[in-house]
Structure 1
Amino acid sequence: MTEEPRLLAILGHRGRDAKTCLYRCGNACDHPAPNESANPYLGDVINTALTRRGVVRAGAVGALVLGFGATATATASAPAAAEPAAGSTAQAVLREPAADRAGALTFKPIPPNELDSLIVPNGYDSAVVIRWGDPILPGVPGLDVRHQTAQRQSAQFGYNNDFLGVLPLGRDGRRALLVANHEYTNEELMFPGFTSQEALTVEQVKVAMAAHGMSVVELERVGGTGQWRPVGGRLRPYNRRITMLETPFRFTGPAAGSAWLRTAADPKGTTPIGTLNNCSGGVTPWGTVLSGEENFNQYFVGGDAAPAELKPRLARYGISTTVRVPAGSRRWERAQERFDLALHPNEAHRFGWIVEVDPYEPGSRPRKHTAMGRFKHEGANVIVARNGRVVAYMGDDERFDYLYKFVSDREFRPGDSAAARRHNLTLLESGTLYVAKVTGDSPAAEIDGSGKLPSDGAFDGTGRWIKLVSGERSYVPGMSAVEVLTFTRLAGDAVGATKMDRPEDVQPSLLTGKVYAAMTNNTNRGVGTFAAADEANPRNANKHGHIFELVEDRGDNTAESFTWSLPIVCGDPADPSTYFAGYDKSAVSPISCPDNVAFDSAGNLWISTDGNQLDSNDGLFATAIEGSERGHLKQFLTVPPGAETCGPFVTGDDRSVFVAVQHPGEITGATLDDPASTWPDGDFAKPAVVVTWRLDGGPIGS
């Protein structure tokens, strides 16, 4: 074994159990990084730094939130109904900037632990909202793992819930719609007597396919508290399952109908079936949910027999082109032959998009927006810029891949009218797609890979958004607009985008317009022949990750230049390589592997983790990002062993925080018959959605 593979074998899976690496991303760390371009990792230092400009103080329209009870001004809304009825939607609110709220996060931090439970602070309570296998459609029984069928699973809550959106239903604050992603499945934790993927029956493969996708579930508030539960007792017209088996989607945008998207089953290239490996997402101001298709590569076989001209493009997306059945393959081709690229080489191109689902129209067809590009989307989060255009920020969750943003051609139309909503539903179908190139402002010699701050006391610099495509016009030499959108990673390579340390969730603050990205980790940074640290990715063998803060020029989210900094460099606060915005590190909680981010109405940043490498379960953390408490990070909850913390979602009245507990008990050697976790019911592990609230009814956190 050469030195580089040996080091990868040592470092590649730190913090994640081998089962997580197998099922979530197809052992990506065990394979060469798909990005083999020669792009600089930070570029040359720009001699003249951009001046930090004013930030958004008004005019950024808030994402749809549970706005009841919140002290916010309603400036944009979608149709709403007092009673649940087809087409009823929710109110979008503009959250005004909060004053300096030093000390606003008053809860006592949860200490690191490895308990098989969900732990919340004193003065708080939590409850399971819904778990894998709970019925959400009428006439279906509850979970019975020994008699599970694809038909049953298609009517039950799916497996491994990741992103959560909670949208108000009516205006009384009593009901809501939960929308959840179902990212992937753990067959050894689902089926009794599991031995291997190959040994599964075809019906069991179909069960796994049905457990992927998304769920929409109507909720009701419990009394006057911050607790929520599914509405029961009668038919719920909004409840819905979207699965990989048979749910039809519609492509929109310039690549819809292109040759790259056509298959034998869909010769027009407009109607993909299903969505898979849905990771994070976002809620739009017009009342829909966005979902990112991420590690889709692991579901395909037959890449070795794909057409020669496609192989470099497949490989750039992590699809093996050298063996017929890659190790860890899910073997879905046994149930549906479209997953065999030797027979259907374009099927893989039909995944890796941003999906939009309208939970208020249960009969509507979900869409995949080609104008937003195709890569391993963690998710997409939207803000309305001062000029009215919608801006979506996105990360490509892979070692050494890129940050993107999309700016719509059309302007957001506020108001409750049906015409306004119909217009807003088209906003993501056309626009301009950019990729980020960032530059540090410190001498290269001061970035030594140890995490030591440079002489100016901060990891920071400037950046620009490189235009890839606008409408049907490509800005990438040698690539058409359709090629740029279908093979966006290759377009980013071609224009010299900056390689980052696994950019995952990217979310703008609706108070300030500043943008925050979770860089989860990159243990390959500086290992072997991989590039060494740079100012935006300042540690070699980066196993803990960091938070990236981006401030658009002039506070304009449509600008093509920005400044950036790293307010949090994660890890043990006692480690000199960590940084918490200059806050006293003796007072902060240890944090490792940030994954998803969210905001409360005060503008505090909430961070969930995935793959904690500090000998503790994963959890949820919060910190102020403005004022004297900036950097005072505190752990709010922990999840059971083997689980990651997904979501999170803080309701607009700040009375509830939802998290998704994904893959509890995902530990090597564990099975359904011999589980490593028995959360939440004491028998075997089940992914579930949890809500937490303050016992005194006050706002979460403060």
Structure 2
Amino acid sequence: MRKLLPLIGNSHEGGRSALTCRFRCGNACFHEVPNTSDNEYVGDVIAKAWSRRSMLRTAAVVTVATAAGSAVALGAPGSSATAAPAADAKNASGHGTGDGARGLRFKPVAPNTDDKVTVPEGYEQNVVIRWGDPIVKGAPGFHPDRQTAAAQAGQFGYNNDFLALLPLGGPYERQQLLVANHEYTDEVLMFKGYDPANPTREQVEIAWAAHGLGVVVVQEDHRSGKLTAVTRHQLNRRLTATSEFRLSGPVAGSALVKTSADPSGTKVLGTLNNCSGGTTPWGTTLHGEENFNQYFANAGKVTDPTQAARLKRYGVSSGESERKWERFDKRFDCVQEPNEANRFGYVVELDPYDPHSVPRKRTALGRFKHEGAQPRLTEDGRPVVYMGDDERFDYFYKFVSSKRMMKGDSRAAKEHNLTLLDEGTLYVAKLTGDSPAAEVDGTGKHPTDGEFDGSGVWIKLATAAPTGNVSHVEGMTAEEVFVFTRLAADKAGATKMDRPEDIEPSPRTGRVYVALTNNTDRGKPGKAGADEANPRNANKHGQILELAENFDDPAGDGFAWRLFLVAGDPKDPSTYFAGFPKDKVSPISCPDNVAFDPHGNLWISTDGNQLGSHDGLFGVATAGERRGELKQFLTVPRGAETCGPLIQDKRVLVAVQHPGEIDGASVEKPQSVWPDGPGKIVRPAVVSVWRKDGRNIGV
């Protein structure tokens, strides 16, 4: 019998509790790193696959168009122009007056360990919706001792993560559509007397219903940023681990995704472990299936060596799964249903305005542990989606559609736009530093040019097209590339990163920001050592990478990059805040989800703070004299993670995920009393924050 990890003590990566690691990602950090490829960092040697013409083009034209049509350049890779722009130089000398960049003018919240959501002075908050609140017509009110799968399927799900707010307009101008991911369940905190070795069918079916997606209309208070859920609205909806989803794009109908229950290879039951996501310009939402591997069992009993190697690369358990779902549905058993796991790990597209629509898994965007997917449009209207694979030493990707978005609300436009993510090319990133490898020693000390920066190339993996799908990876078919994307990226020689999680392009400048959460395995014996993009061995605090490419030619293969933030205690000499004085910033550790506010500032939520305080939400200026000024906006309760940040003019929304998820906690022995106080079960929830005086956030 598999020995469970102890529930006391905390030796887990990034400050997470053992309980969080068990239920959120299946103890990924305690398993062997799935990426055993020999892709080594190139240092200051240009990869053979790059042509000199490509490199020169990158140096000459890596710019991104701003909303006003002007250009912003990181500088030519490999030249002195790559150094910080003039604004950074001013920051470095302490230039700048006032109380913060526009949008960040609030008194920073001090690091703390309080069991509540702490917000800045002059701000208020409310709980918008909690796990178990009824949202669908006919759903009962929440009662922790009388839960059923049918009740949970009509109630707000567990462990909210990604959040989107979409306008309704017209007579509903003070209402918005809230869309939320329900990433995973923690049965120990959901059920009294839960026995991890012997879950009941009822508990399993409730957990199935608590996963997935939620759509609920919220009502705005006209005097503040307060939001209230409108229960049982006709647009409210729950999608669970047993709802119908469709595979679309190049993998649909492939032999690699056919099962005994679905010989067509097109119909999937459920979506699992949805972490972050994105909103599209055509009015839909995107949802990344992340740690899907933990739900599948018995990979060690698979006898086919090719299939076994593929399952191992995706980290599927060799024995029983944590939740034992395979006991109640054979599709979670890799021996009985060898292709079922191949039907998870995609980006899901949902039309939240149509409660009868069937969500699609967009297979052209590849299959890996998707943290999120935020698109932007090229100048000619083609979507480009940037994506991270949240695993130590894995990669980040982009997808460029070959189709242009149609404007307008006509039926033809809507139907066309729902095909945009089925055709195009999938790429993986390879980064090269511009400093000698000897100057990157693993301590975080800057090289002699003063920055961790360089150039990069997007390597083509596969193209999906109606005339025929094309693989760009030797020895793999296009279908294999889209289903086993990690293996394709291994072959392509992509750069191993420190857990690339959420990736967001700035709506103002087009620069792309990659949250790299941490990687304490960096530099260990047999593991990849430090490189210029991942400059610290035993990296427990993470960093944020900023890249720019030619926005007019997103299918091009070149980009420039540099580290925007190197997280940790500002007193630590290895930290860096885009050149801003470090005695004027908040400490930050383990960046996870990122989002932009209306002023172009980047907001960062954290997961697993290693600095002794609770996780929180931070805002940082990305341009101007205060570029790099980082301020903490809020902290979350004991055991919780800050997720789904969404920043509007009048409010900030966060998803408070897994409050009370501390080693030794249970329903009987709670380690938090949030959000409803002592004697009540701990419940993940969505929180809205606004200014007491009614003015906009941070101005």
AA aligned opposite 2:295: Y
Tell me if structure 2 keeps the 8 A contact 1:12–1:523: no
TM superposition score normalised by structure 1: 0.90
AA aligned opposite 2:25: C
Q: Quote the offset at 1:12 in angstroms.
A: 4.7
Q: Quote the offset at 1:697 in angstroms.
A: 1.7
Corresponding residue SS for 1:257: coil
> What are the residue-to-residue correspondences of 1:135-534 with 2, within 5 Å?
135-171=134-170, 173-194=173-194, 196-232=195-231, 235-245=232-242, 247-308=243-304, 309-321=306-318, 324-325=319-320, 329-471=322-464, 472-534=469-531
Q: Which residue of 1 is the match for residue 547 of structure 2?
A: 550
| Structure 2 segments unaligned to the other structure (5+ residues) | 1-8, 47-54, 70-97
Q: Which residue of 1 is the match for residue 694 of structure 2?
A: 697
CA distance in 2, matches of 1:124, 1:590: 21
Q: Quote the offset at 1:420 in angstroms.
A: 1.6
| Residues 184-240 of structure 1: per-residue CA shift (max 9 Å, x gap) | 01111000122x3232211111101110001000111013321111124xx411100
CA distance in 2, matches of 1:503, 1:101: 32
CA distance in 2, matches of 1:129, 1:42: 48
| Residues 436-475 of structure 1: per-residue CA shift (max 9 Å, x gap) | 0000001111111111111111110000100001120000
Tell me if structure 1 keeps the 8 A contact 2:241–2:271: yes
The 3 A distance-change label for structure 1 pair 54 and 360 is same
| Residues 527-585 of structure 1: per-residue CA shift (max 9 Å, x gap) | 22211110000000000000010101366444321000111000000000100011110
Tell me if structure 1 keeps the 8 A contact 2:280–2:374: yes
Q: Which residue of 2 is the match for residue 582 of structure 1?
A: 579
CA distance in 1, matches of 2:633, 2:566: 19
CA distance in 2, matches of 1:557, 1:122: 43
CA distance in 2, matches of 1:122, 1:590: 19
AA aligned opposite 1:39: N
Tell me if structure 1 keeps the 8 A contact 2:401–2:420: yes
Q: Which runs of 4+ in 1 moved over 6 A?
A: none
Tell me if structure 2 keeps the 8 A contact 1:101–1:629: no
CA distance in 1, matches of 2:586, 2:68: 34
Q: Quote the offset at 1:43 in angstroms.
A: 4.7
CA distance in 2, matches of 1:439, 1:599: 27
Q: Which residue of 1 is the match for residue 666 of structure 2?
A: 671
Tell me if structure 1 keeps the 8 A contact 2:564–2:577: yes
The 3 A distance-change label for structure 1 pair 59 and 347 is farther
AA aligned opposite 1:162: D
1:28 aligns with 2:37: no
CA distance in 2, matches of 1:383, 1:152: 38
TM superposition score normalised by structure 2: 0.90
AA aligned opposite 2:165: V
Tell me if structure 2 keeps the 8 A contact 1:304–1:342: no
AA aligned opposite 2:407: P
Tell me if structure 2 keeps the 8 A contact 1:177–1:216: yes
CA distance in 1, matches of 2:10, 2:682: 29
| Residues 365-410 of structure 1: per-residue CA shift (max 9 Å, x gap) | 0000111100000010000011211100000000000010000110
CA distance in 2, matches of 1:555, 1:601: 23
CA distance in 2, matches of 1:467, 1:358: 29
What is the root-mean-square deviation of aligned Cα atoms in Å? 1.7
CA distance in 2, matches of 1:701, 1:453: 33
CA distance in 1, matches of 2:62, 2:222: 46
Corresponding residue SS for 1:462: strand
| Residues 471-498 of structure 1: per-residue CA shift (max 9 Å, x gap) | 2000000100000000000000001000
CA distance in 2, matches of 1:556, 1:164: 30
AA aligned opposite 1:208: A
Q: Quote the offset at 1:342 in angstroms.
A: 1.2
| Residues 273-299 of structure 1: per-residue CA shift (max 9 Å, x gap) | 000000000000011110000101111
Q: Which residue of 2 is the match for residue 603 of structure 1?
A: 600
Tell me if structure 1 keeps the 8 A contact 2:63–2:548: no
AA aligned opposite 2:67: A
CA distance in 2, matches of 1:189, 1:434: 40
The 3 A distance-change label for structure 1 pair 640 and 556 is farther
CA distance in 2, matches of 1:375, 1:348: 11
Q: Which residue of 2 is the match for residue 69 of structure 1?
A: none
Q: Quote the offset at 1:11 in angstroms.
A: 6.4
CA distance in 1, matches of 2:289, 2:449: 39
The 3 A distance-change label for structure 1 pair 492 and 43 is farther
Corresponding residue SS for 1:564: strand
Tell me if structure 2 keeps the 8 A contact 1:168–1:177: yes
AA aligned opposite 2:650: R
The number of aligned residues is 645
AA aligned opposite 1:478: G
| Residues 78-103 of structure 1: per-residue CA shift (max 9 Å, x gap) | xxxxxxxxxxxxxxxxxxxxxx9963
CA distance in 1, matches of 2:30, 2:153: 33
Corresponding residue SS for 1:410: coil
Q: Quote the offset at 1:412 in angstroms.
A: 1.2
The 3 A distance-change label for structure 1 pair 122 and 398 is same
AA aligned opposite 2:284: T
Tell me if structure 2 keeps the 8 A contact 1:582–1:631: yes
Tell me if structure 2 keeps the 8 A contact 1:42–1:437: no
| Residues 234-279 of structure 1: per-residue CA shift (max 9 Å, x gap) | x41110000002x111111111010110000000100010000000
Q: Quote the offset at 1:612 in angstroms.
A: 0.3
| Residues 132-160 of structure 1: per-residue CA shift (max 9 Å, x gap) | 00001122222211111111111110000
Q: Quote the offset at 1:40 in angstroms.
A: 1.4
Corresponding residue SS for 2:427: strand
The 3 A distance-change label for structure 1 pair 511 and 540 is same
* Greater mean alpha carbon deviation, residues 143-152 or residues 410-419: 410-419
Tell me if structure 2 keeps the 8 A contact 1:468–1:475: yes
Tell me if structure 2 keeps the 8 A contact 1:202–1:335: yes
The 3 A distance-change label for structure 1 pair 200 and 497 is same
CA distance in 1, matches of 2:390, 2:13: 16
CA distance in 2, matches of 1:315, 1:54: 40
Q: Quote the offset at 1:119 in angstroms.
A: 0.4
1:681 aligns with 2:681: no
